[in-house]
Amino acid sequence: MFDLLLYGIVVGSWGTSWLAIQYQLGSVAPEASLVYRFALAALVMLLFCVVARQSLKFRLAFHGRFALQGLLLFCVNYWLIYLGSRDLTSGLVAIGFSTLPLWSLFLGALFFEKALERQVLIGALVGLVGLCLVFWPEIEQANPTRQMTAMILVILGTLSASTGLLLAGENKQRGLPVVQGNALAMAYGALFCVALVTLRGVPFHFDWAPGYVMSLLFLSLISTVVAFAAYLTLVRRIGAGRAAYASVLFPLIALALSSWVEGYQWSLPAVVGVVMVLAGNMLVMRRRTS
* Whole-number pLDDT of residue 140: 65
Give the closest residue to 269 by CA, choosing from 95, 42, 15. Answer: 95
Among residues 77, 78, 54, 3, which one has the least CA distance to residue 179?
A: 54
pTM equals: 0.87
Exposed, middle or buried by CB within 10 Å (0-12, 13-18, 19+), for 156?
Answer: middle
pLDDT attached to residue 69: 93
> Given this model, what pLDDT does residue 241 score?
57
pLDDT given for residue 141 in this prediction: 65
If you ran DSSP here, which 8-state letter would residue 55 be given? -
Q: What is the DSSP secondary-structure string of 64-128?
A: HHHHHHHHIIIIIHHHHHHHHHTSS-HHHHHHHHTTHHHHHHHHHHHHH-----HHHHHHHHHHH
The pLDDT score that the predictor gives to residue 153 is 95
pLDDT of residue 138: 66
Of 11, 14, 35, 82, nearest to 218 by C-alpha is: 14
Does residue 250 contact residue 97 with C-beta atoms inside 8 Å?
no
Residues in the chain where the model's pLDDT stays below 50: none
From 75, 76, 78, 132, select the one nearest 102 (Cα to Cα). 132
* Per-residue pLDDT at 113: 65
